[in-house]
Structure 1
Amino acid sequence: MTRQPGLTIGDLADRTGLAVSAIRFYETKGLVRPLRNKGGHRRYDRADIRRLSFVMIAQELGFPLSRIAEVLDGLPEGRSPTKADWGRIAGGFRADIDQRITRLEVLRDKLDGCIGCGCLSLKSCKLYNPEDRARRHGPGPRYLKGDRPPD
């Protein structure tokens, strides 16, 4: 199928609300791939409006550009993605979001006990780390991440 580009970068900026510089940045990351006309000007498919809208939403959800680019690489070139294409992407993102929600709920529940304790019980505090003993498990708040403190 022959690609029928037609939108200028200004048209794309107007339709997506993105700055022209942001669209150029996304182009350097491979998120959109405009063609050049005979004069060397960028021309975008109408499908690029949807692609960039997806990028903005995925970033708002906290997905890194590398993951977004990986997902968009699975979309067809030269045609708008179908409902099935977007459904496949949504399924993968749903699994990632569900995992994040689970981790956030665990963290929330652990912090509730910590914030409410007023550090009256350092033996059970998940942040208390005398003599930096948790470092053997790795960097970061190890006990909040699930490692067990020594008895």
Structure 2
Amino acid sequence: MEDANLSVGYVAKRTGVKVSTLHFYEQKGLIRSWRNQGNQRRYKRDVLRRISVIKAAQRLGISLQSIHQTFLGMPNERTPDKKDWAQLSQRWQQQLDQQINSLTKLRDSLDGCIGCGCLSMQSCPIYNPEDALEIEGPGPVILDRKC
């Protein structure tokens, strides 16, 4: 592909990620490279923006799986443009709001019963008498509840 002329080293340096990270992103289907006649990886210039979107989303706590699903929704596997970014960021803001609510709830309940079933804390009989939360599943079910 003629316009795929950026080397893996250049892309790594320009985006601030390791070459191994580029290979990982490629393995996960987040970016794409082509091979030149010497069988070396080459990237199109738009991979720089795509990696920047990945890094920004990761910094916000968005999982690679969620990023990948978002990219799958792009027509013809294209890189998100300004309009796409506005939509992505709005969707991710909603996810972040949910995470913030969950973390706030977690922070506020750290000193009390977490619903694990141990019944060893004095406050557990108040929150989880006779391990009534067992029916909700294993582990700290109070902490695992969605906001």
TM-score of the two chains, using structure 2 as the length reference: 0.77
Paired position in structure 1 for 2:98? 99
Paired position in structure 2 for 1:83? 82
Paired position in structure 2 for 1:18? 17
- Which amino acid in the other structure matches residue 33 of structure 2? P
Paired position in structure 1 for 2:62? 63
Alignment of structure 1 residues 101-120 onto 2, 5 Å = 101-111=100-110, 114=112
Distance 1:120 1:137 in 2: 21
Q: 1:39 to 1:133 in 2, by over 3 A?
A: same
Secondary structure at 1:81 match in 2: coil
Post-superposition offset of 1:98: 1.0
From 122, 125, 144, give the equivalent of 1:123: 125
Unpaired runs of 5+ residues, structure 2, are 114-120
Identity of counterpart residues, as a percentage? 41
Distance 1:26 1:87 in 2: 23
TM-score of the two chains, using structure 1 as the length reference: 0.75
Aligned length: 139
Distance 2:55 2:31 in 1: 13
Note the alpha carbon deviations across 1:78-110, whole angstroms, 9 max, x for none.
865321011111111111111111122222222
Paired position in structure 2 for 1:149? none
- Deviation above 4 Å: which 4+ runs of structure 1? 76-80, 119-122, 129-133
Q: 1:43 to 1:56 in 2, by over 3 A?
A: same
Distance 2:138 2:81 in 1: 43
Paired position in structure 2 for 1:49? 48
Q: 1:37 to 1:122 in 2, by over 3 A?
A: closer
Query: Of Structure 1 and Structure 2, which has the larger fraction of its residues in helix?
Result: 2
Note the alpha carbon deviations across 1:29-60, whole angstroms, 9 max, x for none.
11111122222221112211121122223223
Q: 1:74 to 1:3 in 2, by over 3 A?
A: farther
Distance 1:27 1:121 in 2: 49
What do you get for the CA RMSD once the two structures are aligned?
A: 2.8
Distance 2:28 2:144 in 1: 32
1:36 aligns with 2:35: yes
Q: 1:41 to 1:122 in 2, by over 3 A?
A: closer
Q: 1:77 to 1:38 in 2, by over 3 A?
A: farther
